[in-house]
Amino acid sequence: MFGKILDYNIRNNIINIQYEKIETRVSIVNSNIINFFAPIFRKKQASYAIENLKFEDCDFEVVEINDYIQIKTSELTVNIYDEFKIDIYNKLGELLCEDYRGKREPFIKNCAGRLDIAIQEGHKPNEHMDFKVFMPKKLEDDMYFYGFGEKTGHLNKKNCHYLNWNTDDPSPHGETYEKLYKSIPFFINLRKENAFGIFFDNTFETHFDLGKENSKYYYFAAIDGNIDYYFIYGPSVKNVLKGYTYLTGTTPLPQMWTLGYQQCRWAYCPEENVMEISKKFREKEIPCDCIYLDIEYMNGFRVFTWDDKKFPNPKRMIKKLNEDGFKLVTIIDPGVKVDKDYKIFNEGLKKGYFATNKDGIVHTGWVWPGHSVFPDFINKEVRNWWAENQKNLTDIGVSGIWNDMNEPANLGVELPLDLKFNNDGEIVEHKEVHNVYGHMMDKATYEGIKKSTNKRPFVVTRACYAGTQKYSTAWTGDNQSTWEHLRMSVPMLMNLGISGMAFCGTDVGGFGYDTTPELLSRWVQVGTFTPLFRNHTTIYSRDQEPWAFDKTTGEINKKYIKLRYKLIPYIYDLFKECEDNGLPIIRPLLLHYQNDIDTYEINDQFMFGEKIMVAPILEQGKKARMVYLPKGSNWVDYWNKKKLKGGQYIIKETPLDVCPIYIKEGSIIPNYPSINYIGEKEIDELTLDIYPYESNFKYTHYQDNGEDFKYKDGEYNLYEFCINSGENIEFKSSVLNNGYENTYKSLKLIFNGIKAENVYQGDKSIDFKILNENTIIKAKNLDFSIKII
């Protein structure tokens, strides 16, 4: 395909390599990130995932050695050979990523049956595709693979095959499902504490085989498009994520209310039903910030309209909900009803905004409204139009948009692969842009909400491509109310998080089928620690609001939802960290314990930020579970405050109301007082839940108005809390930035497991309380230090 290397030249950070048959390009984004590009499909290098990429100033050398070209940055050595074969080493000379030079060997060899008959019974052959892009890399026994966005199965994807083709399939997803709603062609390879990522920026159907086809190699491949991939070196997984989100963007800081509990159902209607649900939350004092309207609110499923029989005065309804502390989020599907009396259809048709068939005739598919057409979100003009239309909803008070069916789904039938879209002047086919259709719809939605409200937009999406995190939060589509799906959600969310989609969640309680009191109780425990915490269920399934079962189930729901609200300032801090560094909220243990190989395969525990580890119950009737406490930290059982050494397996008893939670020793967790919704009252006092013991550590806490973009101009507060533990414990609090006027008026410090004899501020002894073996101190000032003796 390439032939021999003939020549090369260097232009700024780009090395153009002339092969016999084609010119390739190697770009040094920075000393850790290198892009490899070969225009085998289209000359121009373009990306839907990366916006305004900046190459960093960095020194590198290029030399010709025998039959290859060597590029050296301060971190990496890249050897490039004939046929565009590439080997990459770190600065210690360790081979990280080696191109596989052998032959591709199919993994079905000893089978010769009548496939046609097998297919008739519903068996599916394992297809071996002839890929246009095929990038095999040498596989080593001790390699682990993570990422790939939303995939079924375990955390480590070794020996699996996945493909990316955004798919709406509501049947119960199992481990054999190779594709779901999202396409994030990114993975992390971890070997002997050395991690690197590969982002394969190709929007066609892409495939990833991690040693399933052959244990000698793993590959990434595509049915068409260019060779265009980024090698992102760690060596820490954290650094890989920093690099990946440097390319594709981080999750922007959301509005604070979006971190609260959210209630959904297909479908709350009419208005009385919505008001009834909201009333129940407040009566029962179960915190909740948001109610969703599913498709039934629309007039015959026409997007941007209301059914005025079911919702005679949506503006009035929303006002009332807002007064009671609820935000309203409405669903929007891409499919526009074919109806000559419908404004959106007429406007879009007149302006040529819908995807057409190969003869230029608008293509009609079939979605909820019946015959429907599909806006061409690839076209900037269409995106602007769609963005403007968000005003139909935001102007009457809708607080967020839930983009569904944007794979795009066409009720069970694939849209023709040759449908035409207009990429700002260049005609592209559905098979090229299918995987970015939802992504571009989300971009339009984000921009529309931002423009019309000036607030941080809240968009929820089902379909994604790499980089969608910049515009939208995501949920994992139509799961089922089964234990299997609760179990699967944990590695799925961890992998989504380390694929850039930090703000993600599942339908808590399960969508399809009917949940049970026990399943909902355990699911809400996971949901408490999931970035997006939304309970949702399908049409005509049994009710699954927190109170829909017996008293115990109701109490467990309330206990955990209240815990979520207590943790809001900690969660908000995590989101700020995520915006700054790309670190997800829900994290696999290996992200913080990369030196501890025993964490590499843990599917059923996760870190909630760096300080909290959750080991949820994912099986029916489970009275106790084994928990692994990673090496390198000591831990405190959140419920009984027992101290535990790291590097051991323990058994934790788990009555139905107990979800095992562990706090890393040497942590400060900021807590809010009890509230029914975000913004219910000014938070005058911040509680610091401190797990001191023998270490020195600090915690930085962030605060702003939780709503708009003023923080970008410095309207935020930053506090630093330091602990020095020796013979005595010293606590110091300082205000590092004071740009937001509503500072806390006091701090409440809880020193867990510490019984103070005396507490001094300077030379002055100050008041404190001992409660349940803990020392509690109230401090009026925010810039101060105290000593506990």
- For residue 246, the minimal CB distance to ligand GLC (Å) is 32
3-state SS, residue 400:
strand
Is residue 627 involved in binding ligand GLC (CB under 6 A)? Answer: no
Q: At what angle do helices 271-284 and 314-323 cross, to 10 degrees?
A: 0
| 402 vs 744 by CB, closer to ligand GLC | 402
Query: Which residues, 427 to 466, sit near ligand GLC by CB under 6 A?
Result: 462
Can you read off the two tokens belonging to residue 639?
A: 């419920």
| 540 vs 649 by CB, closer to ligand GLC | 540
Place of tokens 């607030």: 455
- For residue 295, the minimal CB distance to ligand GLC (Å) is 4
One residue of 89, 231, 244, 266 binding ligand GLC per CB under 6 A: 266
- Whether 404 is catalytic is yes
Q: What is the rounded distance in angstroms from the CA atom of residue 677 to the CA atom of residue 709?
A: 21
- For residue 294, the minimal CB distance to ligand GLC (Å) is 5
Is residue 331 involved in binding ligand GLC (CB under 6 A)? Answer: yes
User: Out of 87, 168, 447, 478, which one is annotated catalytic?
Assistant: 478
25 alpha-carbon distance from chain centroid:
31
- For residue 408, the minimal CB distance to ligand GLC (Å) is 12
Is residue 478 involved in binding ligand GLC (CB under 6 A)? Answer: yes
User: Out of 404, 442, 518, 545, which one is annotated catalytic?
Assistant: 404
Cβ distance 700 to 718 under 8 Å?
yes
Is residue 295 involved in binding ligand GLC (CB under 6 A)? Answer: yes
Q: What is the rounded distance in angstroms from the CA atom of residue 746 to the CA atom of residue 715?
A: 20
Residue 28: partners with Cβ closer than 8 Å, 6 or more residues away: 13, 14, 15, 34, 55, 58, 60, 71, 73
710: exposed, middle or buried (Cβ count in 10 Å: 0-12, 13-18, 19+): middle
Cβ distance 197 to 236 under 8 Å?
no
In the complex, residue closest to ligand GLC by CB: 266
Give the number of residues in contact with ligand GLC, rule: CB under 6 A: 10
- Whether 598 is catalytic is no
Helix runs in 215-340, H state only: 237-248, 271-284, 314-323
Q: What is the rounded distance in angstroms from the CA atom of residue 207 to the CA atom of residue 162?
A: 6
- Whether 407 is catalytic is yes
Is residue 78 involved in binding ligand GLC (CB under 6 A)? Answer: no
- For residue 266, the minimal CB distance to ligand GLC (Å) is 4
Q: How far is CA 449 from CA 296, 398, 401, 528, in A?
A: 22, 10, 9, 27
Is residue 329 involved in binding ligand GLC (CB under 6 A)? Answer: no
204 alpha-carbon distance from chain centroid:
22
Overall residue count recorded for the chain in this entry? 789
Query: Which residues, 536 to 555, sit near ligand GLC by CB under 6 A?
Result: 536
| 331 vs 586 by CB, closer to ligand GLC | 331
Is residue 477 involved in binding ligand GLC (CB under 6 A)? Answer: yes
| 201 vs 294 by CB, closer to ligand GLC | 294
- For residue 216, the minimal CB distance to ligand GLC (Å) is 40
Helix (H) / strand (E) containing 178? none
User: Out of 228, 407, 432, 596, which one is annotated catalytic?
Assistant: 407
The long-range contacts involving 66-70, CB below 8 angstroms and separated by at least 24 positions, are 67/5, 68/5, 69/5, 69/8, 69/15, 69/17
Query: Which residues, 377 to 406, sit near ligand GLC by CB under 6 A?
Result: 404
Write the Ramachandran bin of 29: left for phi over 0, alpha for psi from -120 to 50, otherwise beta: alpha
Question: Pattern of binders to ligand GLC over 688-727, x per CB under 6 A?
Answer: ----------------------------------------
Query: Which residues, 160 to 199, sit near ligand GLC by CB under 6 A?
Result: 170
| 140 vs 514 by CB, closer to ligand GLC | 514
Is residue 297 involved in binding ligand GLC (CB under 6 A)? Answer: no
- For residue 417, the minimal CB distance to ligand GLC (Å) is 23
| 445 vs 703 by CB, closer to ligand GLC | 445
Is residue 260 involved in binding ligand GLC (CB under 6 A)? Answer: no
332 alpha-carbon distance from chain centroid:
21
Q: Which residues form the interface with ligand GLC (CB under 6 A)? A: 170, 266, 294-295, 331, 404, 462, 477-478, 536
Residues marked active site are found at 404, 407, 478
